[in-house]
């Protein structure tokens, strides 16, 4: 069953019950992307990362990994002050 067939069946079923139809397929993707972007931005702020600091850290990791031949380490979370 395709997405459009499932949507048509759900719309018919909900209309027969007198309920509101579901959103059309793909209409919520912009909202999900925006929510992901906001959550990512808040997490970066909480960790104290800025774009410039993140780029500098990435360059340092790349240079260090290239020199040592090892894989870069993941970022450590900063401890929160009480």
Structural contact between residues 7 and 25, judged by C-beta atoms closer than 8 angstroms: yes
| Whole-number pLDDT of residue 27 | 83
**Whether pLDDT at 47 is above 90:** no
What local confidence, expressed as pLDDT, does residue 77 receive?
Answer: 67
Q: What is the mean pLDDT of the chain?
A: 81
**In the chain, pLDDT over 90 holds for what percent of residues?**
28
The answer to whether the beta carbons of residues 25 and 3 sit under 8 Å apart is yes
Cβ atoms of residues 73 and 61 within 8 Å: yes
- For residue 15, name the pLDDT band (cuts at 50, 70, 90): very high
């Amino acid at each position: 069953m395709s997405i459009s067939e499932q949507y048509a069946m759900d719309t018919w079923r909900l209309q027969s019950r007198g309920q509101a139809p579901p959103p059309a397929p793909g209409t919520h993707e912009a909202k999900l992307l925006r929510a992901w972007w906001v959550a990512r931005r808040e997490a970066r702020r909480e960790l104290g990362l800025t774009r410039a600091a993140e780029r500098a850290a990435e360059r340092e990791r790349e240079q260090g990994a290239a020199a040592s031949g090892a894989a870069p380490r993941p970022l450590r979370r900063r401890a929160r002050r009480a």
